[in-house]
Amino acid sequence: MIRIKLIPLEEFQRVRAAPIDKYERLALISDMCRTNTLSAVKRAGSGHLGSSFSAMEIVVWLYYQEMNIMAVGLQSPDRDIYFSSKGHDVPGLYSVLFSLGILPEEKFLKLRRLGGLDGHPDVGIPGIEANSGSLGMGISKGRGMAWAKQLLDRSGRVFVMTGDGELQEGQIYEALQAAFHQRVGNLTVIVDHNKVQSDKRICEIIDLRDLEAKFHSFGWHVARRNGHDLRQLDWVLAEFKQIIDRPKLLIADTIKGRGVSFMEHPVALRTAKGLYPWHAGAPDDQSFSAAHQEIVERINARLAELGLLPLVLKEIEPSEKVVRSSLVTQNALGEPVSQAVKSKLSDGASSEYVVEAFGQALVEIAAKRPNLVVLDADLAADCRLRCFEETYPDRFIENGIAEQDMVSMAGGLARQGLLPVVNSFASFLASRANEQIYNNASERTKIIYVCHYAGLLPAGPGKSHQSLRDISLFGALPNCIILQPCNAAETRMAMEYCVNQASENCMLRLVIGPSPRIIELSASYQLTPWRGVVLKEGSNAIMFAYGPVMLHEALLASEILEENDFGLQIVNMPWLNRVDMHWLKEVVAPYESIYVLEDHSPVGGLGDFLLNALNNEVLLKRRRIRKFAVEGYPACGTPPEALKHHRLDGASLASRILNNIE
């Protein structure tokens, strides 16, 4: 395992105290924060380096020089406020907060871990002023804070960082117009204009064109500077301070991946054939070492030039290997589990991605359906749409980070007889474009909404990305079938169903991460409308679940319970708001205890649907349904941490079932 080193707080204190020019000092601090960001992301196994690096000088300048936070304290009502609207650049912010002593080392090293630092900002963390990660909300929220400061006669300014890809979100323009109209002069927006969104250049996705002209047309005071040049930042913010009759916006020209030669975007894009590889995810060992060495050597060279000693780095404990699902070492009674149970756990080699199967199925099905078109909101790689994009470029529509526009465009396409397949993460698509989805559905056309990254896992990105409400958000549409497949084969069948059989709208819910195990279906299995399928026999109780993540935990629970002589029948129920009552009656007939395991909130998921179905047919008389669901906000952490926190891992489920009976 690779050794990861941290620049400890004392080293920051040494450089801060060194009698050197402030610009020199903060350039050094910026690079030192880059080093720690790199280490934290590497240790976490994921996180966003590219934009943490592009924004680094700006964040360092704000915290060390511009804002009053260190003087008045984090609790002062008169403090200046900074937050990033895009939010995914938070590893960079965390490293700055660590360098200032606001975040202790122990916390700083727990990036994307339970009880540590969320993958996107959360106000529960010291120094974090706003939850963000859902793009486009920051200027509105910052304006609220700034307006409140005025009403409450508080001093302090509000600084909001936005991405540039983020400027594709329409809410940005709502916020711009209102902030000018309301003359919110204590609000400053800084656009980290690094020119690259997820993995492509903005001008290729949806060009932003002349940003200065746009912002001017909304009435703002606008400046454009080099975002890595501390002198320019100093001067422009001094200029902004004098302007109090209107909000101010700085377009900061930056370089994505700034500070590591091979991560900087012009080079990185060329190397990776046009796809920027350092937006999200931890670097491999070799890249990490090279990047770390490059920054540290640059820092040390500069320290030497300034007559200062080289950095003293501190080796940090490696984190345990992150696994895909719950770890089972003991059964529900606390005894070690048998080898039989252990062997069912995926060893990685036997895993799969249902989303990968979706991407393949899309291309295959599209060959026979010339009216099928695919829409994307800048998540083509994550949603596995690249193959379709390359195979059918004429039928692929990139809309940029603008889910509402994408969905309404799909409505127009459908009205012309096309079959749109609309893609984004579930938390964005189901929620932000909800009214547009309703409007389309009310036209009785057919559209397939693919809600990627549905459910609790991966839990590292945090609650802005984990989607536990999407079934409920589609649930009250009168003409939409919701389904979630459990493995690659069922995913292909589900897509086939949505495209070629369904007459209504479909919402296809997909897990984005690796399946913890391949959920086995018989070779003859056919997805049958409104029917589920028994995956494991058991005579004491029955559990309905869906999707690879929760079916794995359900099976695990059943396997553990088997060792306790309790038979838990496991049913894969891919239909989340339709059921064949004949089948349901038959399948629940032998059981009094019915469990539903939700990869969703307890409200509005499969459990509520089945409860209604059983109640309607008066089948509940001697039965009770119990839902195991994600209660509260989803925890951030590794898969085992998040599952265990919500008591949804196999061992907890087994234990909850046994306790229920007792």
Task: Give the footprint of a second copy on residues 123-152 (CB under 8 A).
Answer: 123, 129-132, 134, 136-138, 140-149, 151-152
Nearer to a second copy, 381 or 603 (CB): 603
180 binds a second copy (CB under 8 A): yes
CB of 242 within 8 A of CB of 212? no
Near a second copy by CB under 8 A: residue from 261, 293, 500, 615: 615
Beta-carbon contacts of 386 under 8 Å, excluding residues fewer than 6 positions away, are: 359, 380
Q: Hey, which residues between 72 and 131 contact a second copy (CB under 8 A)?
A: 77, 122-123, 129-131
> Does 214 help bind a second copy (rule: CB under 8 A)?
yes
Q: Does 408 bind a second copy (CB under 8 A)?
A: yes
Q: Which two tokens stand for residue 400?
A: 């940029």
Residue nearer to a second copy on the CB measure, 116 or 257 = 116
Q: Does residue 624 interact with a second copy by CB under 8 A? A: yes
Please tell me whether residue 181 binds a second copy under the rule CB under 8 A: yes
Closest CB 79 distance from a second copy, rounded Å: 11
Binding residue for a second copy, selected from 335, 347, 443, 520, defined by CB under 8 A: 443
Q: Give the bridge partners for 6, in sequence order.
A: 314
Q: Which is nearer to a second copy, 1 or 618 (CB)?
A: 618
Shorter beta-carbon distance to a second copy: residue 68 or 300: 68
Residues near a second copy (CB under 8 A), total:
111
Stretch that binds a second copy, among 26-34, 267-275, 550-558, 620-628 (CB under 8 A): 620-628
Which of 84, 326, 404, 515 is in the footprint of a second copy by CB under 8 A? Answer: 404
**410 touches a second copy (CB under 8 A):** yes
Cα→Cα distances 413→45, 407, 410, 451, Å = 40, 10, 5, 19
DSSP string over 206-255: S----HHHHHHHTT-EEEEEETT-HHHHHHHHHHHHH--SS-EEEEEE--
* Residue choice 335, 435, 520, 586 for contact with a second copy (CB under 8 A): 435
Encode 1-59 in three state secondary structure.
CCCEEECCHHHHHHHHHCCCCHHHHHHHHHHHHHHHHHHHHHHHCCCCCHHHHHCHHHH
User: Least distance from C-beta 80 to a second copy, angstroms?
Assistant: 13
Rounded to the nearest 10 degrees, what angle do helices 9-17 and 22-44 cross at? 170
**How far is the C-alpha of 334 from the C-alpha of 363, rounded, in Å?**
48
**Site pattern 325..364 for a second copy (x: CB under 8 A):** ----------------------------------------
Residue from 1, 349, 523, 618 that binds a second copy (CB under 8 A)? 618
DSSP letter string, 155-199? ---EEEEEESGGGGSTHHHHHHHHHHHTT-TTEEEEEEE-SB-SS
Q: Which of residues 15-74 bind a second copy (CB under 8 A)?
A: none
Side chain identity at residue 333, one-letter code = L
Q: Verify binding: residue 612, a second copy, rule CB under 8 A.
A: yes
Each residue 459-498 as x (binds a second copy by CB under 8 A) or -, in order, gives: ----xx---xx--xx-xxxx--------------------
**8 A C-beta contact, residue 444 and residue 479:** yes
Q: How near is the Cβ of 520 to a second copy at its closest, in Å?
A: 31
Is residue 559 a contact point for a second copy (CB under 8 A)? no
Nearest distance from residue 161's CB to a second copy, in Å? 15
**Would you say 122 or 253 has its CB closer to a second copy?**
122
Query: CA 610 to CA 24: how far, in whole Å?
Result: 64
Which of 253, 264, 405, 641 lies at the binding interface for a second copy (CB under 8 A)? 405
Residue placing its CB nearer to a second copy in the complex, 32 or 172: 172
Q: Which is nearer to a second copy, 284 or 592 (CB)?
A: 592
CB of 430 to a second copy, least distance (A): 8
3-class state of residue 69 by DSSP: helix
Half-sphere exposure of 599 (CA within 13 A, CB side): 33
**Phi/psi at 13 (nearest 5 deg)?**
-65, -40
Separation between Cα atoms, residue 587 and residue 614, nearest integer Å? 12
- CA proximity to 169, closest of 122, 119, 205, 123: 205
Q: Please state, in angstroms and rounded to a whole number, the distance separating the CA atoms of residues 204 and 314.
A: 42
Of 206 and 299, CB closest to a second copy: 206
Neighbours of 512 (CB within 10 A): 21
String marking each residue 412-431 x if it binds a second copy according to CB under 8 A: xxxxxxx-x------xx--x
Regarding 504 and contact with a second copy (CB under 8 A), the answer is no
Closest to 167 measured CA to CA, from 210, 135, 130: 135
Binding window for a second copy (CB under 8 A); candidates: 4-12, 39-47, 169-177, 244-252? 169-177
Q: Least distance to a second copy from the beta carbon of 540, Å? A: 18
* Nearer to a second copy (CB atom), residue 341 or residue 406: 406
Task: Provide, rounded to whole angstroms, the least separation between the CB of residue 67 and a second copy.
Answer: 16
What kind and span of H or E run contains 562? helix 547-563
The region of 65-73, 304-312, 439-447, 539-547 touching a second copy under the rule CB under 8 A is 439-447
**Encoding tokens for residue 393?**
């470029």
Tokens found for residue 360: 């393949």
Q: Are 166 and 136 in contact (CB under 8 A)?
A: yes
Which secondary-structure segment (H or E) carries 322?
none
Report the distance separating Cα 182 and Cα 143, nearest Å: 9
Q: Using CB under 8 A as the criterion, what x/- string covers residues 560-599 for binding a second copy?
A: -----------------x----------------------
* Closer by beta carbon to a second copy, 163 or else 420: 420
How far apart are CB 413 and a second copy at their closest, in Å?
Answer: 4
What mask of x and - would describe binding to a second copy in positions 190 to 209, judged by CB under 8 A? ----------------xxxx
- Taking the least distance from each CB to a second copy, the nearer of 211 and 306 is 211
Amino acid code (one letter) for 182: Q
List 213, 349, 523, 589, residue binding a second copy (CB under 8 A): 213
How many Å apart are CA 659 and CA 649, to the nearest integer? Answer: 15
Nearer to a second copy, 15 or 481 (CB): 481
Cα 527 to chain centroid, rounded: 30
